[in-house]
Amino acid sequence: MDDAYVIGVDYGTDSVRSILVNVYNGQEIASATYYYPRWKKGLYCNPSLNQFRQHPVDYIEGLEESIKDCLKQSGKQVASKVRAISVDTTGSTPIAVDKTGTPLALLPQFQENPNAMFVLWKDHTAVEEANEINQAAKKFTSNYLQYVGGIYSSEWFWAKLLHILRTDQQVADHIFTWVEHCDWIPFLLTGGKDALAIKRGVCSAGHKSLWNASFGGYPPQAFFQAIDPLLADFTSTIAKETYTADQRAGFLSAEWAQRLGLHSSVIVGIGAFDAHMGAVGGQIEPYHLSKVMGTSTCDMLVAPTHEVEGILVQGICGQVDGSVIPGMLGMEAGQSAFGDAYAWFKNLLMWPLKNLLLTAETPSLVDLNHQIEQQIIPQLSKCAEKIEPHIQQELAIDWLNGRRTPDANQALKGAFFDLNLGTDAVQLFRALVEATCFGAKKIVDRFNEQGIPVKGLIGLGGVARKAPFIMQMMADVLNMSIKIHRSEQTCALGAAMFAATAAGIYTKVEDAMNAMGQGFDTVYYPNPQRVPIYQQRYEKYTQMGNLLEKT
């Protein structure tokens, strides 16, 4: 049997990662990461306003450079045997495009306009618009929010579109339709020139755009009219048909084949969100919560559709048939800040170094600053794991970027309680880690309470693999074991599995998982002595969180 290869492309918050994989054994032949240069400079963002935008040029350059780097590492012989490419992205990360499907930010008059760029998942400028969608939904006898947990979030498709339409008249005058990042990249790779022909994945449409087969597509025009007449005509620019990620978006265009050094017979798969493909790359099992832990968390759970028929879990980020594995119901939850919470604390501690020590910018000081920055979290973790938990310790609430699940509310803020003059950086860090674990427990509890039993935990992503202190506390707080997947690139690997399925090498993605999966290399078990203490502290976390939310 001749070797065959596929490429999985994973668009993260800070970078895009591509991997070249053998379809028969999942062996990673090459990998490459491209950090977005404009994003790295902080361009087009305003954290104080919760505005986070990314330029499509960062995405295009990263796509080309990362794939070409993989092919350069592997050689021409391997490149000639590439069969398919599939892509995952963050989400909801939509953008305004014209009738040709070209993002407005790629047009001269919009190239420096943040409102014409991709509105990143963690952009929370649309809090008011999300609230209006939730209020308008109450006027209808049909519950159009029932498949997204009953609450629409400011992180999602329609809220972000409405905010942009209200904020920027020039963009509103030129927009033809609104498209998710994961749907636009396959359109780009296949040489699409007609925005009406963009193939929307069921993953993005079902979880963020209110698409559901029971509605015959999207909610009726009257629903969007009730929110704001600005939204009334947009469903006419979005095809009602959606596709699972094991299907084909098309073939690589002649232009992109030439740019990448591949053949135009290469198949391009339907795109999906990173956590959904990451769950597949991490070999998700029914009723196991697959936690992709990075800047935020995305928690995926799949169950045979016939076993959970009629169950609607309130306050999660959606439940969509086929959004993770075709033929199964995919359920999504998550935390708006996870790794981002630790990064915030690290940046807080780095302030004196960056603003006092580095006034001269001498090379030796810059290098020292970098070394210290890299060591802060590992050293805090080493010290924090020596502290035994007890009831009266410092307590934190992890809503530093709002709350995604349960019951999305992006207006909420984080907090610390029980501080005193003896509180130091280690104790604050420990409280912050504990709070993120408590936030994770809230998600598990919501699934269990509403009839979806969580039978196991799978840890994926950088935090899962590199932070044993955090993972052990997670096991203790949730009183469940967590197995950590061996792959460091589960999202890209999941994309590669879907690429192999779209290419017809496997008839279903579960077969690709079995053949290409890399297995697990670590398991964290709960410490029975700590479990009851964390349960008491969790009750206090709940009490203080309720107080904070009321005020």
Interval 446-471: pLDDT, tens = 999 999 999 999 999 889 999 999 99
Question: For the domain that residue 476 is a member of, what is the CATH number?
Answer: 3.30.420.40
pLDDT mean across residues, the chain: 95
Ramachandran bin of 300, using left for φ above 0, alpha for ψ from -120 to 50, beta for the remaining angles:
beta
Whether residue 502 is predicted with pLDDT greater than 90 in this model: the reply is yes
Percent of the chain with pLDDT over 70: 99
Same domain as 160, residue 119: yes
DSSP class per residue in 482-527 = EEEES-S-HHHHHHHHHHHHHTTSSSSHHHHHHHH---EEEEE---
pLDDT(1) > 70: no
Instruction: Give the β-pairing of 177-180 and 94-97.
Output: antiparallel
Q: What pLDDT is stored for residue 361 in this prediction? A: 63
Greater pLDDT, 411 or 436: 436
pLDDT band of residue 388 (cuts 50, 70, 90) is very high
360-383, pLDDT tens digit by residue? 567 777 788 889 999 999 999 999
Provide the pLDDT confidence category of residue 349 given band limits of 50, 70 and 90: very high
In a domain, 329, yes or no: no
> Containing domain of residue 416, as a range?
339-486+521-550
Q: Are residues 168 and 115 in the same domain?
A: yes
Question: Contacts by 129-136 with C-beta closer than 8 Å and gap 24+?
Answer: 129/154, 129/158, 129/159, 129/160, 129/162, 129/163, 129/166, 130/154, 130/156, 130/159, 130/408, 130/410, 132/162, 132/227, 132/228, 133/158, 133/159, 133/162, 133/227, 136/223, 136/226, 136/227
Q: What is the mean pLDDT of residues 442-449?
A: 98
Sign of the Cα torsion 492, 498, 502, 506 reads positive
Task: Report phi then psi at 330, rounded to 5.
Answer: -100, 130
pLDDT at 356 (0 to 100): 79
Predicted confidence band of residue 358 (pLDDT cuts 50, 70, 90): low
Q: What are residue 509's phi and psi, to 5 degrees?
A: -70, -25
pLDDT at 450: 95
Assess if residue 325 is contained within a domain: no
Q: What is the pLDDT of residue 360?
A: 58
501 plus 441 within the same structural domain: no
Are 443 and 333 in contact by the 8 Å Cβ rule? The answer is yes
Phi, psi of 420 (to 5 degrees): -150, 180
- For residue 423, is pLDDT > 80? yes
Q: How many C-beta neighbours within 10 Å does residue 379 have? A: 14
Mention every residue, 6+ apart, whose C-beta is less than 8 A from residue 14. Answer: 35, 36, 39, 40, 295
Which tokens go with 452? 């979806």
- For residues 167 and 245, state if they share a domain: yes
431 and 499, same domain (yes or no): no
| Residue-level pLDDT at 226 | 97
Q: Quick one: DSSP state of residue 403?
A: B
Cα distance between residue 79 and residue 76, in whole Å: 5
Tell me, yes or no, whether 392 and 494 share the same domain: no
- When pLDDT is averaged across residues 120-142 and rounded to a whole number, the result is 96
| pLDDT for residue 355 | 82
Q: What is the pLDDT of residues 8-45, one digit of tens each?
A: 999 999 999 999 999 999 999 999 999 999 999 999 99
| Average pLDDT score over residue span 106-116 | 98
Same domain? 442 vs 513: no
Judge if 500 and 455 occupy the same domain.
no
- Enter the pTM of the model: 0.91
- Report the SS3 class of residue 188: helix
In a domain, 419, yes or no: yes
How wide is the angle at C-alpha 263 spanned by C-alphas 258 and 267, nearest 5°?
115
Residue 185 confidence (pLDDT) above 70: yes
CB atoms within 10 A of CB 548: 15
In a shared domain, residues 242 and 388: no
In a domain, 288, yes or no: no
| Same domain? 35 vs 54 | yes
Same domain, 186 and 258: yes
Does 308 reside within a domain? Answer: no
Residue 352 and residue 258 in one domain: no
In a domain, 297, yes or no: no
Number of domains forming the structure of the chain: 2
DSSP state of 302: E
> Residue 232 falls within a domain, yes or no?
yes
- 330 within a domain of the structure (yes/no): no
| Element housing 171 (H / E) | helix 169-174
Beta bridge partners of residue 433, listed in sequence order = none
